[in-house]
Amino acid sequence: MTETSQTRTPDSRPTGGLSAQYQPGEVEQRRYETWVSAGYFTADAKSDKPAFSIVIPPPNVTGSLHIGHALDHTIQDILSRFKRMQGFEVLWLPGMDHAGIATQNVVERQLAAQQLSRHDLGREKFVEKVWEWKAQSGGAILGQMRRLGDSVDWAHERFTMDDGLSRAVQTIFKRLYEDELIYRANRIINWCPRCLTALSDIEVEHTDDEGELVSIRYGEGDNAIVVATTRAETMLGDTAVAVHPDDERYKHLIGTEVELPLTGRRIPIVADEHVDPAFGTGAVKVTPAHDPNDFEIGQRHDLPSVTMMDERAVVTVHGPFQGLDRYEARPAVVAALREEGRIVAEKRPYLHSVGHCSRCKTTVEPRLSLQWFVNTGPLAKAAGDAVRDGRVTIEPAELAKRYFAWVDNMHDWCISRQLWWGHRIPVWYGPNDEVVCVGPDEQPPSGEGWHQDEDVLDTWFSSALWPFSTMGWPERTETLEKFYPTSVLVTGYDILFFWVARMMMFGLYAMDDVQPFDVVNLHGMVRDGHGKKMSKSFGNVVDPLDWIDRYGADATRFTLARGANPGSDVPISEEWCQGSRNFCNKLWNATRFALMNGATVQGDLPPVEELSAIDKWILSRLQHVVGEVDEYFATYEYAKVCDALYHFAWDDVCDWYVELSKPVLSADTQSAANTRRVLGHVLDQLLRLLHPVIPFVTEELWIALTSGETVTLSAWPQAVPALVDDAAEEELAALQKVVTEVRRFRSDQGLKPSQRVSAALTGLGNVGIDTHEPLIRSLARLDPPAAGFTATATLAVTGGITVDLDTRGTIDVAAERARLEKDRAAAEKEAAQCRAKLDNDAFIGKAPEQVVAKIKDRLAAAESDLTRIAAALAALRSA
With vertex at residue 18, the alpha carbon angle to CA 16 and CA 23, rounded to the nearest 5 degrees, is 160
Give residues with Cβ within 8 angstroms of 338, minimum separation 6: none
Look up residue 309 and give its DSSP letter. B
* Cα dihedral 262, 266, 267, 269 sign: positive
> What single DSSP character describes residue 58?
P
808: β partners: none
Nearest to 794 by CA among 692, 873, 681: 873
Which one-letter DSSP state was computed for residue 3? G
CB 360 within 8 A of CB 369: no
Q: What angle do CA 246, 249, 251 make, to 5 degrees?
A: 55
Could you give phi then psi for residue 357, rounded to 5 degrees? Answer: -65, 125
Closest C-alpha among 277, 278, 271, 285 to residue 229: 285
Give the residue from 569, 437, 647, 563 showing the smallest Cα distance to 74: 563
Report the 10 Å Cβ neighbour count for 822. Answer: 11
Name the nearest CA neighbour of 696 among 303, 62, 146. 146
Helices (H) and strands (E) in the chain, counts: 28, 29
Give, in order, the Cα–Cα distances in Å from 842 to each of 839, 846, 848, 857.
9, 6, 12, 19
Report the amino acid identity of residue 587: L
CB burial of residue 58 (10 Å; 0-12, 13-18, 19+): buried
Q: Which residues contact 443 (CB under 8 A, 6 or more apart)?
A: none
Q: Of all helices (H) and strands (E), which one includes residue 187?
A: strand 182-192
Question: Quick check: 414 and 545 in contact, CB under 8 A?
Answer: no
Instruction: Compute the Cα dihedral for 546, 549, 555, 561 and give only its sign.
Output: positive
Task: Compute CA 295 distance to the chain's CA centroid, rounded to the nearest angstrom.
Answer: 37
Distances (CA, A) of 266 to 244, 290, 338, 561, 707: 20, 19, 20, 63, 88
Residue type, 198: A
> Does the annotation list 536 as a binding residue?
yes
Residue 358, phi then psi, degrees to nearest 5: -65, -20
Cα–Cα distance for residue pair 683/594, rounded to 1 Å? 9
Burial class (CB in 10 A: 0-12, 13-18, 19+), 484: buried
Rounded CA gap, 688 and 702, in Å? Answer: 8
**Strand intervals (E) in 202-342:** 204-218, 225-229, 240-243, 257-259, 266-271, 283-286
Q: Measure the N-to-C terminal CA separation of the chain; round to a whole number of Å.
A: 55
Whole-number Å distance between alpha carbons of 160 and 699: 34
Q: Distance (Å, rounded) from C-alpha 71 to C-alpha 311?
A: 39
Q: Establish whether the linkage from the previous residue to 349 is cis, with ω within 30° of 0.
A: yes
Please enumerate, by residue number, every residue annotated as part of a binding site.
536
Annotated binding-site members for ATP? 536
